[in-house]
Chain A
Amino acid sequence: MDPMIEVRNLVKRFGAFTAVNDVSFAVRSGEVLGFLGPNGAGKSTTMKMITGFLTPSAGSVKVSGHDVEASPIAAKQAIGYLAEGAPAYPDMTPVEFLIFVARVRGYSGNELMQKVDAAIDRANLRSVAHKNIDTLSKGFKRRVGIAQAILHDPPVLIMDEPTDGLDPNQKHEMRLLISEMAKNKAIIVSTHILEEVNALCTRAIIIAQGKLLFDGTPADLEQRSAYHNAVTLTVSGGASTDTIADALRKVTNVARVEVSAGADGRMHVVAFPESGASVIGDISQLVRAQKWELDEISVETGRLDEVFRAITSGTSESGREVLT
């Protein structure tokens, strides 16, 4: 099966500044791609090129087999797009707005009303359907944008920070909605919420300063973490943390041990394994043999925020100066 979204060597320059620098990736139907990167990384700019709003400086985008520059209408028909900030006409009500979008998308009569109705239901907009959009709260505005994007049940869905501004319940609903739709769509979601990547995405890419730095599954991402398979012992009393730390250092495949105090006054001893190794077996044997009194022993899968920082570090602040 051909990918639904194919981005090839995409470049966008604004004057002398390169916002997107040679980015390539592909998304197949059934995939949810998490698009990560620090502020100003070029996420929104890339999405604007995929949806045909911005013309690339170089490279190409194919959506559903159509080249976005050569046949923009066909490509746009296949796309549902929630732009950053969920723009919508402030003087319209959600119903009027959705009817407008449905008309432009070529629906009429009964079918049009059905599509509008279904979109209102899916985005939970019933209660504000007849209020002016400029009087809606941020979260409801976002949901109007989402309703507009999914109205025509597009095979390709591109959402720029869809959960930004939603309350925790709505965030959960939104994630459910996306997972539900994921079966027969190719979806790209940008987000700053790293847990969302685990909860939602089958794949993640990270860009910073316009460059693609990572492309893989959320599990791959976690494996990059120093905390991947790290074992944390939480100690409240009894054995001294120094003894424990010394003992742990001698376990095979333990690369390094860190001792830190938690916010609650308890001590944490973390054993980091050599990359790729697992140390939990040996450590739990040791704990039993030494009869240490522990509050808790846990294995981490990895800390995404730490990986994110490591991958994008040093790029967020000095970005512009370095490139221009």
Chain B
Amino acid sequence: MNNIMAIARRELANYFATPVAYVFIVIFLALTGVFTFYLGGFYERGQADLQPFFLYHPWLYLFLIPALSMRLWSEERKAGTIELLMTLPISTWQAVLGKFLAAWAFTTIALFLTFPIWITVNYLGDPDNPVILAGYLGSLLMAGAFLAVGAAISSLTRNQVIAFVITVVLCFGFILSGFPLVLDFFRGWLPHGVVMSIAYLSFWTHFDSITKGVIDLRDVIFFGSFIACWLFANVILVEMKKAD
């Protein structure tokens, strides 16, 4: 446990030791603002809720989260510090978990800094705050899912750009696979069960219901097990690729 925390602390401090953290947070906040107020028609809707705010999170995460996750393992491999890390008395899963938790904690911080939007909506009207809380929770779970994919991909290559691109493409797939248009396309030639599985694997399907204020245990379980699976893949990939 202490090992995991030591790794998470170093990793989190590392985000702030470089401009990455500040650039990320500023862009994240600026884009949430643009999406919510401009594209989402926050004022025009005349409703006191954060639907337009959460609606764009998958798209925001699609490009921002891979930028956070791409360095997690690529950088270690490129700098050779992975040899240091993996010869310290820790197991691979502890290192994987520590790094993932650091990146997740960082997105939590970024997400937390959007609280002025929440204050605004409470100032302007009388929103359903539990629904908003559910939205935040859902957003955080989805961020975790993006990160878990990104961390695993990052252990595949020493090149951060490659890690970024592959992660974006994969995550794009996990968002799109819930869209009716895409599912209709598959319906033409795939059995019903397979199409349902594709829809089930989509972030979109599970995120959508959470932002509407419905915390279904099944959605939470989906994100939890999705993250667990990708972290497991991450452990295996690190073991396989660490010395290449």
Contact = CB atoms under 8 A, between A and B. Distances in A.
Interface of A: 48, 51-54, 72-74, 76-77, 79, 81, 83, 85, 87-92, 96, 100-101, 103-106, 108, 148
Contacts of B88: 76, 101, 104-105
Given A87-B81, A89-B14, A90-B79, A104 B7 contact: yes
Contacts of B89: 73-74, 76-77, 104-106
A88 B85 CA distance: 9
Nearest to A80: B87
Interface string B88-99: 111100000000
Given A87-B79, A91-B17, 8 more contacts: A52-B86, A53-B83, A72-B91, A74-B89, A87-B84, A89-B10, A106-B89, A108-B2
17 contacts: A48-B243, A52-B87, A53-B83, A73-B89, A77-B89, A81-B87, A83-B80, A83-B83, A83-B87, A85-B80, A88-B81, A89-B14, A91-B17, A92-B10, A100-B6, A103-B9, A105-B88
Given A53-B242, A76-B89, A89-B14, A148 B6 contact: no
Contact of A73 (B80, B91, B243): B91
Which has the most chain B C-beta neighbours within 10 Å: A51, A77, A81, A103? A103
A148 B83 CA distance: 13
Contacts of A77: 89
How would you classify the secondary structure of chain B's contact residues: helix, strand, loop or mixed? helix
Contacts, number: 68
B interface bracket (residues with beta carbon within 8 Å of A) = 20 to 34
Given A73-B91, A92-B17, A104-B89, A87 B2 contact: no
A88 B14 contact: no
B120 interface: no
A74 B91 CA distance: 11
Contacts of A54: 243
B47 interface: no
B6 A51 contact: no
Interface string B1-25: 0110111011001100110000000
B6 A87 contact: no
Nearest to B15: A91
